[in-house]
Amino acid sequence: MKITKKIKALAAASLVVLAGTAQAEWEPKGNVSLQIGFGAGGSTDTIGRIVAQTMKEQTGWNVIAENKPGGGGIAMFTGIANRPADGTVIGLGVSMPILVNLVNRPDQLKFDLDSFDYLGTAARAQLALIARSDAPFDDVAGLVEYAKSNDAPIAFDAKPQELAMRFVMEQSGAEFQFMSTKGGAENAKLALGGQAIAAFEAGEHLPFLEAGDIKMLASMNKSRHNYAPDTPTLQEQGYDIYVDPVFFFATTAGTPSEAREALTAALAEALESDAVKEVVQNTLKSPIENMGPEGTEQMMRDGVTNVGALFAN
Amino acid sequence: MPELAIILAGLGDAFTPANLFFVFAGVFVGQFVGAVPGIGPIMAMAIAIPFTFGMDPLAGIGFLVGVNKGGLVGGAIPAVLLNTPGTPDAAATALDGHPLAQQGKPLKATKMALYSSVTGDTFSDIVLITVSAPLALLALRMGPVEVFGLMLLAFAVISGLMGPSLVKGIIAIALGLLAAMVGTDPEHGTPRLYFGQFELYDGIPLPAIAIGMLAISELLRRLSESRREGNPAVRLPRGQPREDSMVSWHEYWACRFTLARGAVIGTLLGALPGIGSTAAAFMSYATTKQAARDPSSFGKGNIHGIAATESANSAVMGANMIPLLTLGIPGSVGAALIISAFMIHGIQPGPFLFDTQGRLIYGLFGAMLLANLGNLIIGQVGLRFWVRVVSAPESFIFASALLMCFVGVYLTSGGLFGIGVMLAFAALAYVMTTLGISVVIFIIAFFLGPRLEVSLSQTLALLNGDPTKLLNYPVGLVLALIALVTTVFLARRNHDRADQT
């Protein structure tokens, strides 16, 4: 009898404690869906799944990772923009494809930059222009010289990469040929096999760089890469353009402020955990970089201007 | 090449009880999700990856390899028993596997699939372990022009499956290529044929098409034909002679050339990223049928048909690891998921891998061979289980398979949108079958279409407007020439046969 009484008392006490925390903190009604704008098995997918798992462990919310592929995140963000703003969904996408479509096809999209409340960023993809180490040049100027007297096929897997090099073509008068591929791994294959004279890589090239099979011509981002501080950016090499893909999180615009703050805080906490840090570093070869809600929104708005310049020609 | 001590230590790691457990658990999960139509090993691997982060690298990767390998065996089971492939890779297995099952020999058909699968897989694993470095170099030399030549050859070989009507075959290929064109155009990056649906930006989702056309249309047809009495979905005749429920050594040995051809085709195509096991299975099936003395017996339960497809699609799996481990290039979605598992542990596949992680790699090789053994053992028990399951009344079986297809496509292909696509293509498959247009040819053209287009666009970039530059690519030219000769040869033979009848 005594024992049951004790258990009852304990249960009552724990109920009081639980009720107390529920009042102080926002709790999602039901599951939180962390939607990944790409299919299973890429870097975005890996990051999304480890963040979802960590958030679930840290907050106790039932966070479920879901793949919503289509148009580099367009399909997923279309869905998020048109959901009730109740804090039960987080979208993980990459800035570049969203910005490219916002600039080129604004009338066909069912959202714009104001359709979202931004929550933070995971990291940026460090995009490099690389060549096989026996190529007769070491930088963009050398590549331009080479292209003036030879065929110069360049392997790329996303439109902005090609446009950045068209920008270089326009300014330098050299001529490149463009080989469209299905991803960074295929770019590496074409560069190593000698079919492409230069190629774009976002991390897949690091072991080849270490082995001395590949050299890096430029960082395509706004800043130099943490693993190659001596390789200048394309901007530093005299071409005022950059490609800066950032992995960012957003939810439906108009989400109540306490829900938004709870999601932002939960996300920030997950991004600071050792597991997420390690997985992001290992998959992207870039450190965690959380710009916070305001920083993320600013990054997207600045991005529209830069992408506008890319597509100006 | 690492020292012998490292190789032995690595292989020893694979045989610890914990690793044995994870590899076998992976095979079990893989066979299960492969055999249930709709979900498939890719989804299971994607879900499992974050959990492998907390595991020892070898155990985690061994588990994923087990799921991938188990899935290939599992996918053949519903293909044979219900004519509804669990994974697209097994679509070709249904061609002869299902007729054999309908003749009251479901155990024989599924066992042949299992043995062929394990044979092909083991062959390509041995190739991987012994000669991966030179093969990887060969794959690097296969540039866009050579891959385009190879794609032409693939289309030529598969045209041998067309059947008597050339016109209907061409209609099937054209429709398949048309469906493959939906999505972002590789040359200019603009979306085409997407009708304002951003879900179609990356193309029509593959699982939705494959399951809609191969499984849903078949399940609906069978449901509409099922009678009230509660017939079992697959009939196991009572007092069946033992040889009808097993594969004798004699029968297996009679398939040795078919198995070898399938294993070689699968290994070669697997070493080249992006072509895939579905195409390998159909190419092996088509060449086996054309090389056979009695091509007309194919499609009616010829055991060689099962041997050809299953040895080829499973051989792709081991060979996919060749570009993955040596160059860090995934050959398929399954391989890309295994790369993710390496990467979250901070291990980047590439040129250093054998030097820096020799012990892990040989541990992985040990795990791969163990997974083949696991497939054989778990498969033996599992097959009996599945055959028992499908001898339940067919209305139950078909209805629950239908439900699983919906769930699987919902999970993998963008929710309700994917289900809509699946149903639309199920209807298309129904119309095509009624008109006598081959659904299988359509699917292959759809699978190979994007790779054909990308390699054509890359080839054009390389030629840069000067066709004489083609002379710099002798291998590509030879492949294109073989494709032409094959087409002419097949057309003639079809013509002769039409004359005889």
ipTM of the complex: 0.82
Query: What pLDDT score does A7 carry?
Result: 57
CATH value at residue A145: 3.40.190.10
- Residue A178 forms beta bridges with which residues? A154
Residue A16 lies inside a defined structural domain of this protein: no
| Residue B439, both tokens | 């659904």
8 Å CB contact between A63 and A54: no
Q: Does B393 touch chain A (CB under 8 A)?
A: no
Instruction: Answer whether A189 sits within 8 Å of B327, measured CB to CB.
Output: yes
Q: Are strands A128-132 and A198-201 parallel, antiparallel or unpaired?
A: antiparallel
Amino acid B490: pLDDT: 81
pLDDT at B77: 92
pTM of the model: 0.85
Nearest to B300 by CA among B92, B100, B438, B77: B100
Token pair recorded at residue A88: 């039960």
Are the C-beta atoms of B152 and B480 separated by less than 8 Å? yes
Instruction: Please give the pLDDT value at position A10.
Output: 53
Q: Distance of CA A229 to CAs A126, A223, A225, B164, B193, Å?
A: 12, 9, 6, 64, 44
Alpha helices of B36-105 — where are they, by DSSP H?
A: 40-52, 57-82, 93-102
pLDDT computed for residue A313 by the predictor: 63
B206 in any annotated domain: yes
Of the listed ranges A72-86, A229-243, B195-209, B362-376, the one predicted with least confidence? B195-209
> Is B478 or A285 the better-scoring residue by pLDDT?
B478
Q: How far is A187 from chain B (nearest CA, A)?
A: 10
Q: Which residue has the tokens 């097993």?
A: B246
What is the distance between the alpha carbons of residues A281 and A267, in angstroms, rounded to a whole number?
17
Distance CA A242, CA A128 (A): 11
Considering the domain boundaries, does residue A233 fall inside one? Answer: no
B201 with A53: Cβ contact below 8 A: no
Q: Which of residues 284-343 of B touch A (CB under 8 A)?
A: 323, 327-330, 333, 336-337, 340, 343
A118 lies in the same domain as A46: yes
pLDDT at B322: 87
| pLDDT-based confidence at residue A59 (cuts at 50, 70, 90) | very high
How far is CA B224 from each of CA B147, B221, B435, B447, B466, rounded to the nearest angstrom?
44, 5, 19, 29, 57
B490 is written with which tokens? Answer: 């097949």
What pLDDT was estimated at residue B59? Answer: 94
Alpha-carbon span A193 to B211, nearest angstrom: 36
Q: Give the whole-angstrom CA distance, residue B404 versus residue B181.
A: 28
- Rg of chain B's alpha carbons, rounded to an integer? 22
For residue A224, being part of any structural domain is answered with: no
Cite the beta strand spans of B204-327 per DSSP E. none
Q: CB-CB: which of B140, B189, B336 is closest to A193?
A: B140
B345 φ/ψ angles, rounded to the nearest 5 degrees: -90, 5
In a domain, A236, yes or no: no
* A13 inside domain: no
The answer to whether residue B236 is domain-embedded is no
Q: A232 lies in a domain?
A: no
Nearest to B273 among A162, A180, A189 (CB): A189
Question: Taking Cα atoms as reference points, which of B374, B366, B321 lies closest to residue B16?
Answer: B366
- Beta strand spans in B172-230 (E): 183-184, 191-192
Between chains, do B458 and A41 touch, taking CB under 8 Å as contact? no
Number of H helices, E strands in chain A: 11, 10
Give just the sign of the alpha carbon dihedral A142, A148, A149, A150.
positive
**What is the structure's pLDDT at A207?**
82
| Nearest-Cα residue of chain B relative to residue A161 | B189
The SS3 call for residue A112 is coil
Whole-angstrom CA distances from B163 to B168, B449, B494, B495 are 9, 21, 8, 11
pLDDT band at A99 (very low <50, low <70, confident <90, very high): very high
Q: Report the distance separating Cα A28 and Cα A88, nearest Å.
A: 6
Q: If you search the block for the tokens 């999505």, which residue do you land on?
A: B183
| pLDDT higher than threshold 80 for residue A290 | yes
Confidence band for A177, pLDDT divided at 50, 70 and 90: very high
Integer Cα distance of B474 and B230 in angstroms: 61
Please give the share of chain A, as a percent, with pLDDT higher than 90: 68
Instruction: Give pLDDT, residue B228.
Output: 65
Best residue in A35, A36, A46, A56 for a mutation probing chain B (most B CBs within 10 Å): A46
| Residue scoring higher pLDDT (B18 or A24) | B18
Residue B235 maps to a domain: no
Q: Is A244 helix (H, G, I), strand (E, B) or coil?
A: coil
Cβ distance A151 to B187 less than 8 Å, yes or no, reads no
Domain identity same for A170 and A203? yes
Residues A116 and A133 both lie in one domain: no
User: Residue B340 and residue A192: Cβ atoms within 8 Å?
Assistant: no
Number of domains in chain B: 1
A177 falls within a domain: yes
**Are both A38 and A113 inside the same structural domain?**
yes
CB atoms within 10 A of CB A130: 27
pLDDT computed for residue A77 by the predictor: 94
Closest CA to B38 of B421, B423, B406, B398: B406
Please give the structure tokens belonging to residue B450. 């994007």
Q: Range of B358's domain? A: 4-227+243-500
Residue A199 clears pLDDT 50, i.e. is over it: yes
**What's the pLDDT score for residue B266?**
94
Q: Could you tell me which residues are beta bridge partners of residue A228?
A: A225
Q: Which residues are within 8 A (CB) of B267 and not within 5 positions of it... i.e. 6 or more apart?
A: B123, B124, B127, B315, B316, B318, B319
pLDDT band of A22, cuts 50, 70, 90: very low
CATH of the domain at A96: 3.40.190.150
Same domain, A299 and A153: no
Residue B233 lies in a domain: no
Residue type, B283: M
Q: Which residues of A touch B141 (CB under 8 A)?
A: 193
Same domain, yes or no, for A102 and A144?
A: no
CB B109 within 8 A of CB B306: yes
Helix (H) or strand (E) holding A13: helix A2-24
Instruction: Give how many domains chain A has, as a whole number.
Output: 2
Q: Out of A41, A68, A181, whose CB is closest to B333?
A: A41
Which residues between 215 and 274 in chain B have a beta carbon less than 8 angstroms from any beta carbon of chain A? 273-274
Based on the domain organization, do A118 and A166 belong to the same domain? no
**Residue A45 included in any domain:** yes
CA-wise closest residue to A92 among A38, A28, A160: A38
Q: Which residue of B has its CA nearest to A65?
A: B47
Claim to verify: residue A282 and residue A135 sit in the same structural domain: no
The residue among B486, B450, B492 whose CA lies nearest residue B181 is: B450
Q: What is the mean pLDDT of residues A141-155?
A: 96
Contacts with A, B 79-138, CB within 8 Å: none
CB contact under 8 A, B50 and A50: yes
Is the predicted pLDDT of residue A227 greater than 70, yes or no?
A: yes
Measured CA to CA, the distance from residue A4 to residue A18 in angstroms comes to 21
Range of the domain at A61: 30-125+245-310
**Identity of residue A156:** F
Q: Are the C-beta atoms of A213 and A133 separated by less than 8 Å?
A: yes
Per-residue pLDDT of chain B (501 residues), as tens digits, is 567 888 899 888 989 999 999 999 999 999 999 888 777 888 888 888 878 888 899 999 999 999 999 998 999 999 999 888 877 788 899 999 999 998 989 999 999 999 999 999 999 999 999 888 787 788 888 889 998 998 898 888 887 777 778 889 889 999 999 999 998 888 887 888 988 787 888 889 888 898 899 889 888 888 888 776 667 777 777 777 777 888 889 999 999 999 999 999 999 988 887 778 888 999 999 999 988 888 889 999 999 999 999 999 999 988 988 888 887 777 777 888 888 888 888 887 776 777 788 889 999 999 999 999 999 999 999 998 888 888 888 888 888 889 988 988 887 777 888 899 999 999 999 999 999 998 888 988 998 888 899 999 999 999 998 999 999 999 999 999 999 998 888 878 777 766 655
The set of residues, in sequence order, having a beta carbon less than 8 Å from that of B334 and lying 6+ positions away, is: B41, B42, B45, B68, B71, B317, B320
Cα(A94)–Cα(A92) distance, rounded to whole angstroms?
A: 7
- B189 to chain A, any CB pair closer than 8 A? The answer is yes
How far is the C-alpha of B38 from the C-alpha of B85, rounded, in Å? 9
Structure tokens at B53: 């982060």
- Inter-axis angle of helices A43-59 and A257-272, to 10 degrees? 110
Q: Which residues of B32-45 are buried (b: 16+ CB within 10 A; e: fewer)?
A: bbbbbbbbbbbbbb
Residue A18's pLDDT is what? 47
